Chains A and B, each alone.
Chain A
């Protein structure tokens, strides 16, 4: 779990590491474009991550994560300039 005082940027690598940690797997075992729920994620774990990301300044809600549950989509959503890539995702 993330509980550090120094917020780290929401890079794809960080999200992958955070998700890997709650799933008890190695980060390189996760596929970026596959549904995280098919890789062992569940909504309780998603909520715990969401809370830690919010504590680090993320402005995202559960519904947004739930609608596009892949690491790459989450990275796009949480990136500082989230609008452009997120819009592309939404249109697909």
Chain B
């Protein structure tokens, strides 16, 4: 057994969450070891990104130029054959055609390429990246994690001490158990069967790069144009079908496509890729879950190791990279001694759970839009049928163990709130109208709903900071005694502490009472939320 180091931080996992955390900790001058079990590039799912990842995180990480060079498929939003309107409708990132610009698009990415860009960037920033290395177990003293036992590509075992271990090793993480147990949502226990096709159709005009999501009787399809000819196609169905999918994926896929007319039409002249990294049909459990805690002394969870909502709205990479940003801020603040650990990581956990919670609620409303009386899949995802156990699960997922409110939360009130969110969203979709119509290009109705405004808040904040190169008026403490980002964005700062002449507008405005949720104009005035 060999002693390696010395490092301040060990990151497990080289996906977007791990790379982001490692890079931002290294940017603050700390020594970071990152262990990745595979050798990059490697296949991964979760290919449709949101603008905040591109124009917020990627820009902050300094990879904007590489992202442009990679020629990823630009997407201006999502197109949905979903809900009561039989015609597809658009959720675009730009508020209106008048306001669409470079920052109102995101990309569809081949994760083999995207993840490698981020990992190579971490390396460039000084992170000691080692591939084909496997985490074995955390080392601890009492309640505190003090390092990691791991094996290298030759099978040699190492023990590395560190002030913090970051678990960003994904949904199959074994290390995360150190921190606590995983709570599952009964609402989103989805399973996806997916593969890749050459020669599939494209949506018309400017929507050609959009993700297309199509609801059908027993689930929904994603249809993601990765290049002009290559498309990622996935069927999301109920977990009860996992046996059928695994036994004969070919037959299951053929049957699902047959039952989803729009997907069938789009794949009419397409052939499935059968060789190379895209050559197989894969099954993935897309259960929604959150760990009861996201950190413990000496250890923090990021990305799918911490939580996962659902594949429907491209949230996976966003939550991972956003969680990575939050974790890095807390680690940097604790390592520098600027904040005590409890306060620094408390802010990480509250903000991360808030982000998880707003997406969860948005997606509850989203699933609720699709009506199908005869379908077990859709009936099981109706807000009106949510039972006390589902509601309690939500409170647990979003509150974690740290929330004192859990026991007090009124379940009937919660159900009513979900019902209202759902009706508001459905009404906004109706008023927006079909894609390719004049109203269908204008997102004021959708951005005006509370659920969308809430979802946009955190994303707008990071995107504004990256575009403007510093703190902006959109950055507010999210909680009464909460913290704001430090002037360089790599740590946290106490907004009530005497200012040190750093010029942070956020800190100056913190006392003016612009409350949470109001910061971007929530409510009937509309237009508050926008990702562009």
Given contacts A3-B503, A48-B472, A61-B521, contact A42 B103 (CB under 8 A): yes
Q: Is A50 an interface residue (CB 8 A)?
A: yes
Main secondary structure of the interface of A (DSSP, over half): helix
**How does the 8 Å CB contact mask read for A51-76 relative to B, with 1 for contact and 0 for none?**
11011000001110010010000000
Main secondary structure of the interface of B (DSSP, over half): loop
Determine whether the beta carbon of A66 is less than 8 Å from that of B96.
Answer: yes
| CA distance in complex: A42, B93 (Å) | 11
Q: Is A22 an interface residue (CB 8 A)?
A: yes
Q: Is B64 an interface residue (CB 8 A)?
A: no
B99, B512, B514, B520: the one within 8 Å of A42 (CB): B99
**How does the 8 Å CB contact mask read for A24-68 relative to B, with 1 for contact and 0 for none?**
000000000001010011111111111110110000011100100
| CA distance in complex: A19, B528 (Å) | 19
Determine whether the beta carbon of A43 is less than 8 Å from that of B519.
Answer: no
Q: Is B444 an interface residue (CB 8 A)?
A: yes
Determine whether the beta carbon of A37 is less than 8 Å from that of B99.
Answer: yes
Determine whether the beta carbon of B473 is less than 8 Å from that of A48.
Answer: yes
Determine whether the beta carbon of B532 is less than 8 Å from that of A51.
Answer: no
Residues of chain A within 8 A of B520, CB atoms compared: 47, 51, 62
Residues of chain A within 8 A of B472, CB atoms compared: 1, 48, 51
CB distance from A90 to the nearest CB of B (A): 16
A1, A44, A69: the one within 8 Å of B467 (CB): A44
CB distance from A63 to the nearest CB of B (A): 4
Q: Is B98 an interface residue (CB 8 A)?
A: yes
Chain B interface extent, by class: 35 or more
Residues of chain B within 8 A of A43, CB atoms compared: 94-95, 99, 104, 530, 532
| CA distance in complex: A87, B350 (Å) | 45
Determine whether the beta carbon of B514 is less than 8 Å from that of A51.
Answer: yes
A2, A44, A61: the one within 8 Å of B464 (CB): A44
Determine whether the beta carbon of A35 is less than 8 Å from that of B463.
Answer: no
Determine whether the beta carbon of B99 is less than 8 Å from that of A69.
Answer: yes
Determine whether the beta carbon of B464 is less than 8 Å from that of A35.
Answer: no
**How does the 8 Å CB contact mask read for B98-127 relative to A, with 1 for contact and 0 for none?**
110111100000000000000000000000
**How does the 8 Å CB contact mask read for B361-403 relative to A, with 1 for contact and 0 for none?**
0000000000000000000000000000000000000000000
Determine whether the beta carbon of A51 is less than 8 Å from that of B474.
Answer: yes
Determine whether the beta carbon of B508 is less than 8 Å from that of A3.
Answer: yes
| CA distance in complex: A2, B96 (Å) | 26
Determine whether the beta carbon of A63 is less than 8 Å from that of B526.
Answer: yes
Residues of chain A within 8 A of B460, CB atoms compared: 44, 47
Given contacts A62-B527, A69-B98, contact A1 B521 (CB under 8 A): no
Q: Is B509 an interface residue (CB 8 A)?
A: yes
CB distance from B525 to the nearest CB of A (A): 4
CB distance from A45 to the nearest CB of B (A): 7
Residues of chain A within 8 A of B95, CB atoms compared: 43, 62, 66
Given contacts A50-B521, A62-B526, contact A42 B467 (CB under 8 A): yes
CB distance from B310 to the nearest CB of A (A): 26
**How does the 8 Å CB contact mask read for B53-82 relative to A, with 1 for contact and 0 for none?**
001000000000000000000000000000
Residues of chain B within 8 A of A41, CB atoms compared: 101
Q: Is B468 an interface residue (CB 8 A)?
A: yes
**How does the 8 Å CB contact mask read for B431-470 relative to A, with 1 for contact and 0 for none?**
0000000000000100010000000000010011001101
Given contacts A47-B520, A55-B509, contact A1 B473 (CB under 8 A): yes
Residues of chain B within 8 A of A22, CB atoms compared: 468
CB distance from B511 to the nearest CB of A (A): 11
CB distance from B449 to the nearest CB of A (A): 14
Q: Is B339 an interface residue (CB 8 A)?
A: no
Q: Is B260 an interface residue (CB 8 A)?
A: no
B491-519 contacts to A, CB under 8 A, are: 503, 505, 508-509, 512, 514, 519
A46, A47, A49, A63: the one within 8 Å of B525 (CB): A63
Determine whether the beta carbon of B519 is less than 8 Å from that of A51.
Answer: yes
Residues of chain B within 8 A of A55, CB atoms compared: 473, 509, 512, 514
Determine whether the beta carbon of A3 is less than 8 Å from that of B525.
Answer: no
Determine whether the beta carbon of B528 is less than 8 Å from that of A62.
Answer: yes
Which single residue of chain B is at the shortest CB-CB distance from A62? B527
A1, A37, A44, A47: the one within 8 Å of B505 (CB): A1
CB distance from B93 to the nearest CB of A (A): 9
Given contacts A3-B508, A44-B467, A62-B530, 11 further A-B contacts (CB under 8 A): A1-B473, A37-B101, A44-B532, A47-B464, A47-B520, A48-B468, A51-B472, A55-B509, A61-B521, A62-B520, A69-B99
What residues of chain B have their CB less than 8 Å away from a CB belonging to chain A?
A: 55, 94-96, 98-99, 101-104, 444, 448, 460, 463-464, 467-468, 470, 472-474, 503, 505, 508-509, 512, 514, 519-521, 525-528, 530, 532
* A-B CB contact pairs (8 Å), 15 listed: A2-B505, A3-B508, A22-B468, A37-B99, A42-B101, A43-B94, A43-B95, A47-B521, A48-B468, A48-B473, A51-B473, A51-B474, A55-B473, A55-B512, A62-B528
Closest 4 CB pairs of A and B: A51-B473, A62-B527, A61-B525, A63-B527
